[in-house]
Structure 1
Amino acid sequence: MHRLPKATPLQHVARIVLGLFLLFAGISHLTFARGDFHAQVPDWVPADKDFVVVASGIVEITLGGALLTLGRFRVPVGWVVAAFFVAIFPGNISQYVTGTDAFGLNSDAARGIRLFFQPVLVLWALWSCGVLGAIRNRDTSSLTGFKR
């Protein structure tokens, strides 16, 4: 029988903080920062910007809630959260390339520095949810969170 890799107290706290961060970001998509999030939707996305902002906000709320409540499934949740951060990265790149001001990022330097934080979020999700430990242990059932 395969067991879920044990999380350290620091990983647990980091997962909770990331969950709260995603809940806050998701709520802000739907309320006070909606216009700022429009700036991150690249023009080449074939959907209404407001729809993309609302949909991504709902996804962020869902992922934040999952990080806070689905500890038993934290490894697969970690994979999904990391994939989400990768999926939204083109929006950050677009904001940099187009020079669009939003979130107080009103210079190329500020927008450029922000690009370096996206990989940090990916690693944060993978580490805090135990994905990196499961990879290190090469335990395939731990990588998915499901028993064979």
Structure 2
Amino acid sequence: MATPPTGHARAYRASDEALELSEFFAPQRTSAVELPDPEVFLRNLTRGVLEVFAGVREVDQLARWLTEDPFRKLVTRTNLATRARSARGVPAVRPVHQILSVHCSAPTDGVVEGTVIVQIPTRVRAVAARLEGMDGRWRATSLALL
């Protein structure tokens, strides 16, 4: 007959099970072969970011495409753009832009670093992003509008 586990062994086993559960529910890495073309995602993300800054799209609509850190930075920068538009009395207008080029590189499997060059009426801008495959889709873990 087996002896019941001691309190220490039971606690150790419970912490192992909790660790396994947290790993199970944490974002799961996805290989690039299981993901769609990152160029399409980069184009759509760029359009969304430009529309958010212009005030014609809610920033929450991009939440599913971003991890927490780039989302928070986007919210902050969007709030600043909204205040600036309000102070000048400028209404929100859908941006007119043309995507000139998309450049992608894959430093490792399931990771893409991309730059999208965009022509807006006043100048040329770039959107740089780092995409990582998580839970079967691309998510931006870093985002910068240059």
Q: TM-score, normalised by structure 1?
A: 0.26
Name the structure where helix makes up a greater proportion of residues.
1
Question: Which structure has the larger Rg over C-alpha atoms?
Answer: 2
Q: TM-score, normalised by structure 2?
A: 0.27
Name the structure where strand makes up a greater proportion of residues.
2
